Amino acid sequence: MEIRLDDLQSTEVIALLREHLHGMRQVSPPESTHALDLAELRRPEITFWSVWEGDELAGFGALKELDALHAEIKSMRTAIAHKRKGVASRLLEHLVAEAERRGYRRLSLETGSMDYFEPARQLYARFGFDYCAPFDAYVEDPNSVFMTREISSREAGEGAGQLRAFG
């Protein structure tokens, strides 16, 4: 499994992103769908990675810098053919390590509250994320769950001062 910094140009990534957006719109009402489209994922405050198994796209995910000490996980998705193969765990491990390397002190996310999202919530909980209040521009929403994880000052200190690179 290889995780690559991605420029969101490949047809495979664009197709999986379309599938992701369609799926989110199927299970969440429009006002509660916070998945980012292609243009939004190309913003400078967002870094996007794709996960490859050989020449097959297995998934993707992104980090959005909210401020110098806080980032948000965005757009995590595993391709159907690669579900239950550890793709999401490996990607989440990568995102947490990258947040630590960049010196963030907090890593947060929004996901759905419906049963469909239970596996995602369990995954995040296994990685030390706890439920929290809405952050950044989010508001209370019965269809959303907010989770966060502190990054220890020792871990954050190791990445402090390093240049932040956005893809």
pLDDT tens profile 71-122: 999 999 999 999 999 999 999 999 999 999 999 999 999 999 999 999 999 9
Write down the pLDDT at residue 120. 95
Confidence label for 156 from pLDDT (cuts 50, 70 and 90): very low
Facing residues of 65 across strands?
Answer: 71
If one counts every other C-beta atom within 10 angstroms of the C-beta of residue 10, the result is: 12
Residues 6+ apart with CB under 8 A from 1: 51, 52, 53, 58, 86, 87, 90
Pairwise CA distance, residues 137 & 70, whole Å: 13
2-159: CATH class: alpha beta
Write down the pLDDT at residue 19. 93
pTM of the predicted model, to two decimals?
0.87
